[in-house]
Amino acid sequence: MSPAGQVRDWLDERFGWDDLVAFIRHKTVPLHRYSYWYYLGGITLFLFTLQVVTGILLLLYYRPTPSDAFGSVQYIMTQVHFGWLIRSIHSWGANLMIFTAFAHMFSVAFFKAYRKPRELTWLSGIILLFLVLGFGFSGYLLPWNTLAFFATTVGTNLIGQVPLAGPWLLTFLRGGADVTGATLGRFFAFHVALLPGLATAFLLTHLLLVQRFGISVPPSLEPAWQAKPPAEREIRFFPNFMLRELMAWYLALGALGTLAALRPWGLGTKADPFASAPAGIRPEWYFMFMFETLKLIPARVGFMTGEALGVLVFGLAAVAWTLLPFLDRGGTGRKRRWAAGAVVFALGYVVGMTLYGYLVMAK
């Protein structure tokens, strides 16, 4: 027997390798005109893996103190071999991952893939999205540059507006009253320890649930899809779907490389906590719709400050969005359509307010 065969036998004897291979061979993915949306989850997973790898490489040189953080990132970008590439891929990859995570979420929402029995799949996915946003928020501060410093000050101020728990959350996140070295230390700990741990746990849960309940077919296509013979309505996960997914990953890698080489992620200037905030302070694009909304709310609405009201409304909206599978109980007519309307509104609002924010900034 060949050495490869011997290894396979060894694995099969202990872990049931042949059963696993048989399972993968029989696993299928629905085939219809919207199947390409299924690749978004895989691309997000690929980008997450890339973030882990590049993040570990950055950790070799990064120093999370106010005196060293900026210099260490500058060192990575100018002195370390391919440090610029690693840092740029990490920064661009984070943005691309958040984009694909959002796109994945909206595709799931549009196709009503959250319906019974996939409520927990949706729930774990939404938690993953919040964790990814947490990665973005905590990672943004780590280079300790001017823009990040003041954007974090503004961002944490908003968290301080959360009713009841706001002041406590603010102090917990900042490690004091202001954004200081204590904040940097905490954000670093969240970014490289707490969030990766939680994300790994929820990612495994999410993948397990996807595996357990399979991939959903959009309700509008389901009757026609069911009517087709099995060979026409499904493709094998391995190798057919997996190879296509691999193509998507390569294309994502190409896009990332292009961005990193042509538009390396900038570093700006070192943060000076005693300097006044520069003009044009803004959050990253994925928080822009919330930031712009809060700016439009009057300073005081009834007994609440405008910011507190905005944070409360966004909080309630996030809870409602998370509970979408439990609120959308199916039915016919209007009952069936309200959820689709809510998804269209949510997407329109997020995209519209983000564009509006950038248009206002450009003026």
Partner 1 sequence: MEARVDSTQITDAWWRAPAALAGYLFLLALVLGMAAPTTARAQAAKNSCLDCHSQLPPPLQVKPEEYNQSIHAEKGLTCVSCHGGDATKADMTAAMSAAAGFRGHVNRTGIPKLCASCHANATYMRGFDPSLPTDQYSKYLTSVHGHLLAKGDTNVAVCTDCHGVHDVRSPSDPRSSVYPLNVPGTCARCHANAETMKAYKIPTDQYASYTASVHYEDLVKNGDLSAPTCVTCHGAHGATPPGVSSVVNVCSTCHVFQAQLFDKSPHARAFLAAGLPGCVTCHSNHRILQPTDAFLGTGKGSVCVNCHAPGDPGYTAAAQIHSSLTALQASIDRSSAILARAGSSGMEVGPAELELSGARDDLTKARVGVHNFSAPAVEKETQAGMGVAQKTYQAGVAALAERDYRRKGLGISLGVIVLVVVSLWLLIRSIESRNSLEAKK
**115 lies in the binding site for partner 1 (CB under 8 A):** no
The binding track of 173-212 with respect to partner 1, each residue x by CB under 8 A or -, is ----------------------------------------
Contact 38, 218 (CB under 8 A): no
Question: Cα torsion at 199, 200, 206, 212 (round to 10°)?
Answer: -170
Question: Binders of partner 1 among 241-260, rule CB under 8 A?
Answer: 243-244, 246-247, 250-251, 253-254, 257-258
CA-to-CA distance for 82 and 30, rounded, in angstroms?
Answer: 41
Q: Which is nearer to partner 1, 243 or 362 (CB)?
A: 243
DSSP codes of every residue in 271-314: --TTSPPPTT----GGGHHHHHHHHHS-SEETTEEHHHHHHHHH
Q: Which is nearer to partner 1, 137 or 140 (CB)?
A: 140
CA-to-CA distance for 114 and 123, rounded, in angstroms?
Answer: 9
Q: Which is nearer to partner 1, 143 or 196 (CB)?
A: 143
Q: Give percent helix, percent strand, percent coil of the chain, each to the nearest 5.
A: 70, 5, 25
Task: Using the CB atoms, write b or e for 153-175: b if 16+ within 10 Å.
Answer: bbbbebbbbbeeebeeebeebbb
Q: Which is nearer to partner 1, 262 or 362 (CB)?
A: 262
**110 lies in the binding site for partner 1 (CB under 8 A):** no
**341 lies in the binding site for partner 1 (CB under 8 A):** no
**84 lies in the binding site for partner 1 (CB under 8 A):** yes
Q: Which is nearer to partner 1, 77 or 108 (CB)?
A: 77
Q: Which stretch binds partner 1 (CB under 8 A): 18-26, 61-69, 73-81, 157-165?
A: 73-81
Question: Binders of partner 1 among 213-232, rule CB under 8 A?
Answer: 231
Token look-up 């944490």 returns 156
**318 lies in the binding site for partner 1 (CB under 8 A):** no
- Backbone torsion region of residue 331, taken as left when φ is above 0, otherwise alpha when ψ lies between -120 and 50, otherwise beta: left
CA-to-CA distance for 311 and 196, rounded, in angstroms?
Answer: 26
For 322, the 3-state DSSP assignment is: helix
Q: Which of 269, 351, 358, 361 binds partner 1 (CB under 8 A)?
A: 269
**117 lies in the binding site for partner 1 (CB under 8 A):** no
- Quote the least distance from Cβ 29 to partner 1, whole Å: 13
The binding track of 30-69 with respect to partner 1, each residue x by CB under 8 A or -, is ----------------------------------------
Using CB under 8 A as the binding criterion, the count of chain residues that bind partner 1 stands at 25
**77 lies in the binding site for partner 1 (CB under 8 A):** yes
- Give me the phi and psi of 116, to 5 degrees please: -50, 130
**266 lies in the binding site for partner 1 (CB under 8 A):** yes
- Give me the phi and psi of 236, to 5 degrees please: -70, 140
Residues of the shown chain interacting with partner 1 in the complex, contacts defined by CB under 8 A = 74, 77-78, 84-85, 231, 239-240, 243-244, 246-247, 250-251, 253-254, 257-258, 261-264, 266-267, 269
